[in-house]
Chain A
C-alpha cells in the first residue's frame, strides 16, 4: 500500500499536478482506510528517506499537497534541459516581475512587460505555444501563479501573485538575484526589495 501511494505521488508530482487528499483516499482503498494517516505518514517518510522529497500541504482548507525537494538548492541545477526549462525561464521572469512590483501585479502590466520580450498573449509563440493558456491556466493549475480577478473592474482585470508552489520552490532572494544578474547590478540596488528578500529565512 505504501509503495503504491509513493509511486502515485511521484507520478502526479512529475507532472507538477497538485495532489488532493480525495485522490489519495481513493488510492488507499478498502480496509486500509482506517490506517490512512499511518500510510500517508509512512509514504512521506519513504519519500524523504529515499528521494529527498517532502509532502507539503499547500492548501489546508481543501487539503492539497505537492512534493518539494529538501535538498539544498543549487544554481543551474541540471533538471530537465528541454522546453520545460524554457517554461521555467518564462515563469522566473514573471515571478521576479511580480516580486519587484511589490508582490502583486496587474495582468496589463505583466503582458506589457512580456510584450517587450516579444511574448504576446494573442500570438502563438514558437517555444511556448499558446502563451495566455500557459500563463493563465497551466502555471495556475500547477500552483506557480495565483491569478485572481480584481473586483469591480469592467472589463475584468486580474491580479497576479506568487502561487504556493513558487513560494516553496524558489525565494525572493533568488528572484532578486535573477533580476540583478540580468541588469548587471547588485541586489542591494533595490533597497526595499533587498530588505524584504533578506528578511526571509
Chain B
C-alpha cells in the first residue's frame, strides 16, 4: 500500500540508480551504498535498516513489476542484491539486447546447464549446437564470442571452460526456470530457492546448495541426509 509506506527520497533514488547500473551487488557493497546514500541526502540512517530501506523502494517498484531481490550466490554463499523484473513470462529482458539466434543459443545453454548433474555445461557441448540453431546457424568462433558477451552481461558465469548461470540470471529467472523446467529444476532442501549447482542425496533425491550443505553440516563428523537420514556421500564444502 503506497499510501502507508515511507516516502521515496533522493537517498532511495540514488541507491536504485547505482544498483541499476551495477546490475547486481554484494551484500557488503549494498550496505556501504545504503550508508553513502543516507549520508549524502541527510536522511536517517541505521546500519541494520537496509531491508526496510529496500522495502520502501520495492513498494514503489511494485506497480512497475520490478523488485530489488535478495539472493545468495551459489559459489560463495554470500548475499547479493539485484533489480529484477517480475512480469517476465519469458527471457524478455534479454530480448532487446540479443539477436534471435543468440537467444536460441542461450536457451540451449540453459537447457544443458539445468539438465546437467553438476549445473555446468562445457564449452564444447554448447558450441556443438552452434551450427544446429534453427533461427540462424552460427560458426563456432561466433558462438564463442556470444558466450563471452553473456558472461560480460552477467547471464552466465564461466569457470575452467565450463558455463553455469550467473547469480543475477538465477535471481532474475527463478520463476521462469521453476515453471519451465518443472520436475527437472531443483529447489534446495534447506533454503527452498532454486538450486542450479547442488549436491544430491543418492537415496531420496533431495538437493542442497553447496554453501547450504556447508552451513547445515558444519562440524558434523557423520553427515546424514536431512530428509531420509541416509549417509551423505559427498564432500562437505
Give A residues with C-beta under 8 Å from B.
3, 6-8, 10-12, 14-15, 46, 49-53, 69, 71-72, 74, 77-80
Contacts and interface: CB of A to CB of B under 8 A. Distances in A.
A11 B10 contact: no
Nearest to B11: A71
B93 A78 contact: no
A6 B63 CA distance: 11
Contacts of B65: 3, 7
Interface of B: 8, 10, 13-14, 16-18, 20-22, 33, 36, 40, 57, 60-61, 63-66, 85, 87, 93, 96-97
27 contacts: A3-B87, A6-B64, A7-B64, A7-B65, A7-B87, A8-B96, A11-B93, A11-B96, A12-B96, A14-B20, A15-B97, A46-B64, A50-B13, A50-B16, A50-B60, A50-B61, A50-B64, A51-B13, A51-B17, A52-B13, A52-B16, A69-B17, A71-B13, A72-B10, A74-B40, A79-B17, A79-B21
Given A11-B93, A71-B10, A53 B17 contact: yes
B14 A71 contact: yes
A138 to B, nearest CB: 15
Contacts of A15: 97
A80 B22 contact: yes
The interface residues of chain B, by DSSP majority, are classed as helix
Most buried by A among B14, B66, B97: B14
Given A78-B33, A80-B22, A52 B64 contact: no
B17 A71 contact: yes
A87 B61 CA distance: 31
